[in-house]
């Protein structure tokens, strides 16, 4: 092996691998976008199932309290319906509009969470038709350059 072959082999590997990666990216771009969207939908469904499980547990404990204590409904009904409290011997704090708004913001609105798909920026740029065509052509050219310019020389 002479000095020129030692340099040609890494250059061939470099040009060919970059060209093959660019070519593969253009071919698999739609599949990658579909993968990221499916991943996001799966995560949203998992969060929804977790939320429903928590709600079931909360309602289950509420039903147990109602079965155990018959006066439980009388105590929680005014808070749920928003009507006035009937017990004259009890002092109930009233929440101000500012406190209620702060509580709503703290708990958040689940419908406002991450409605946009979480697709990497590089993938969204590569999926544009013009850039995809440029990547395809440059990948082919890099592979051709590697085969033409860095092939072994026969003496």
84 or 71, higher pLDDT:
71
- Structure-token pair, residue 152: 């072994």
Q: Tell me the CA distances in angstroms from 137 to 18, 24, 131, 134, 151, one per residue in order.
A: 12, 12, 10, 5, 21
List, in order, residues 6 or more apart from 9 with CB less than 8 Å away: 150
Please tell me the predicted confidence (pLDDT) of residue 55: 82
pLDDT 10s digits, 76-92: 666 666 666 666 676 66
Q: In this structure, how many other beta carbons lie within 10 angstroms of the beta carbon of residue 142?
A: 20
For residue 155, the model assigns a pLDDT of 62
For 20-42, how does the pLDDT look when each residue is reduced to its tens digit (9 = 90+)? 999 999 999 999 999 999 999 99
pTM here? 0.60
Task: Give per-residue pLDDT as tens, 112-143.
Answer: 555 566 888 999 999 999 999 999 999 999 99
Span 93-102, pLDDT tens digits: 666 666 666 6
Residue 106 confidence (pLDDT): 59
pLDDT band at 62 (very low <50, low <70, confident <90, very high): confident
Instruction: Check residue 152 and report its DSSP letter.
Output: P
Whether the CB-CB separation of 15 and 150 falls below 8 Å is answered with yes
| Residue with tokens 């991943």, as numbered in its chain | 39
Q: Check residue 65 and give its pLDDT.
A: 76
Residues in the chain: 155
- Supply the pLDDT for residue 131: 95
Task: State the average pLDDT over residues 46-62.
Answer: 86
Give me the residue label for tokens 């440029």. 134
């Amino acid at each position: 092996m002479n000095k020129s072959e030692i340099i040609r082999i890494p250059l061939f590997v470099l040009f060919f691998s970059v060209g093959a990666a660019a070519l593969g990216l253009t071919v698999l771009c739609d599949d990658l976008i579909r993968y990221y969207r499916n991943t996001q939908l799966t995560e949203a469904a998992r969060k929804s199932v977790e939320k429903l499980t928590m709600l079931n547990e909360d309602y289950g404990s509420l039903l147990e309290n109602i079965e155990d204590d018959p006066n439980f409904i009388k105590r929680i009904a005014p808070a749920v319906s928003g009507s006035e409290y009937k017990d004259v011997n009890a002092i109930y704090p009233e929440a101000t509009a500012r406190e209620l708004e702060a509580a709503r913001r703290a708990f958040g609105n689940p419908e406002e969470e991450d409605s946009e798909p979480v697709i990497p920026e590089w993938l969204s740029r590569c999926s544009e038709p013009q850039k995809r065509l440029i990547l395809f052509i440059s990948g082919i050219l890099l592979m051709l350059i590697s085969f033409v310019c860095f092939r072994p020389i026969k003496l």
